[in-house]
Amino acid sequence: MERGPKTGGSISRHGLLRYICFSMKKYLALTGLFFFVFAETDARQGFSAASSFNYGFIIPHRTSMAHLVTGHAYGYEFNLALPTDGSRPWHCIYNYPVTGVKIYHMSLGNDQVLGTATAVIPYIDFPLVRRERLVFSFALGSGLGYNSRHFNRISNHSNNAIGSGVNGIMHGCFSLSWNIASRLCFRQSLTITHFSNGGFQMPNLGINIPSLGAGIVYSLSPPSSFCRQNRDSLSLPDKNIRYTVIFTGGLKEVYPALGPRYAAYTVFAGAMKPLSFKSSLGGGANLFYDYSVKARMRIDDASAAVPEYKNFRLGVYISHELTVSRLSVIAQMGVYVLDYYRKDGPVYHRAGLLYRVNKNLVASFTLKTHYAKADYLEAGLGYVFMK
């Protein structure tokens, strides 16, 4: 358990500096241990190890969250990464990105209500600008995190941001790396991290943490050279239209907190047209069956008779896919054309991942939202028909 001044209320400048110094000492000790362990890794693997110290804050994106922000957030992360080697076409298309996994830990500035957040995040780091001694890049990752303090009706009722200990995490990071030696870089970063359980357990306003970071990157082997492909030499992408049908399901809670969970199902049918090696555009229709719709109608009017068919919703959407090998990042925006429960508004969004198991089978993991309000996480399988 971390020692230092409590941050459940106001904190003096002296106490804040003392706690940051304490955290820095832990960071330096863990960094030394981290690099000592991975220095013994087989150098032929081409791995690099990195660590950074981060300092930021929580965005109170709802006025009802203002009481949660009593201090700054600070912590550290440790990365183990492997550069792509040019053996696959997408390595060239994305300017030879780095794949890796990071351990992320932050004190959220309010120990008694928010506690700490720890996560394991697989990621891909895409170089945007590459020079001889400088790389400017953007990393995107998603994983699982644990929040040490979450809502509890008795002991932590003021935490209206997170209702569960285990949560999903989205992580984006702009970084600037400077070579200061043949195998050593200094890295500065701007990071935004989001914790949420996707509506699985209320409350779920989510936690958004922007932070600045500074640290070092150490290559466990000398820089390797490989034959970089010319993008013009790659075979043209298949631009045939893909037709996809996917069935997904998920669970959700509705307010008030600690109520029952309701199943929600989606069938979506759509068509996607590849535009380039990276991007595809398309659209389609979603058919939703959400058991919580009837429950919410009954909460609004306990005497109302609500037939089962009012759980149905029908929407049409436009979609974009960003493809990296077999994995695609999807973003959809849709409009309900049939909706018996109109309090969520006419517009919905779905974002997540599609993984192509083979030529025809796909696995889907997505989050359905109404603007910034999570509705539910959903997972499922689908089939792709090629024109």
Tokens 């996994």 correspond to 101
CB atoms closer than 10 angstroms to residue 249:
14
Residue keyed to tokens 């644990």: 146
Give the whole-angstrom CA distance, residue 58 versus residue 40. Answer: 37
Residue boundaries of the structural domains of the chain: 13-219, 236-386
pLDDT digits (tens, 9 = 90+) for 261-289: 999 999 999 999 999 889 999 999 999 99
Give 242-308 as a 3 state SS string.
EEEEEEEEEEEECCCCCCCEEEEEEEEEEEEEECCCCEEEEEEEEEEEEHHHHHHHHHHCCCCCCCH
The Cα 121–Cα 207 span in angstroms is 16
Each residue's pLDDT tens digit, 146-204: 999 999 999 999 999 999 999 999 999 999 999 999 889 999 999 999 999 999 999 99
| Dist CA 145 CA 206 (whole Å) | 12
Q: Identify the pLDDT of residue 6.
A: 45
Contact 299, 281 (CB under 8 A): no
Convert the pLDDT of each residue in 61-73 to its tens digit: 889 999 999 999 9
Q: Which residue has the tokens 């298949």?
A: 238
- Summarize pLDDT for 234-258 with one digit per residue, the tens: 666 778 899 999 999 999 999 888 8
Where is 29: in which H helix or E strand? helix 13-38
- Residue 192's pLDDT is 96
* CATH code for the structural domain at 13-219: 2.40.160.20
**CA 105 to CA 172: how far, in whole Å?**
15
| Fold: same for 13-219 and 236-386 | yes
* pLDDT value at 32 more than 70: no
State the pLDDT at residue 257: 83
Ramachandran region, residue 109 (left: φ > 0; alpha: ψ -120 to 50; beta: rest) = left
Residue 47's pLDDT is 85
Dmax (CA) for the chain in angstroms is 73
What's the pLDDT score for residue 231?
A: 60
CA distance to 49, 125, 184, per residue, from 131 (Å): 21, 16, 15
pTM of the model: 0.84
* Rg for the chain, CA atoms, rounded: 23
Q: For the domain covering 236-386, report its CATH number.
A: 2.40.160.20
How buried is residue 324: exposed, middle or buried, by Cβ count under 10 Å (0-12/13-18/19+)?
Answer: middle
Residue 139, both tokens: 């990393």
Contact 381, 354 (CB under 8 A): no
pLDDT at 9: 45
**Residues 131-150: what's their mean pLDDT?**
94
- CA contacts within 13 A on the Cβ side of 141: 26
Percent of the chain with pLDDT over 90: 69
Give the pLDDT score at 30. 55
Query: pLDDT by residue (tens digit) across 311-354?
Result: 999 999 999 999 999 999 999 999 999 999 989 999 999 999 99
Instruction: Flag whether pLDDT at 18 surpasses 90.
Output: no
Q: Is it the case that residue 44 has pLDDT exceeding 80?
A: no
Contact 273, 279 (CB under 8 A): no
Contact at 8 Å (CB) between 69 and 60?
Answer: yes
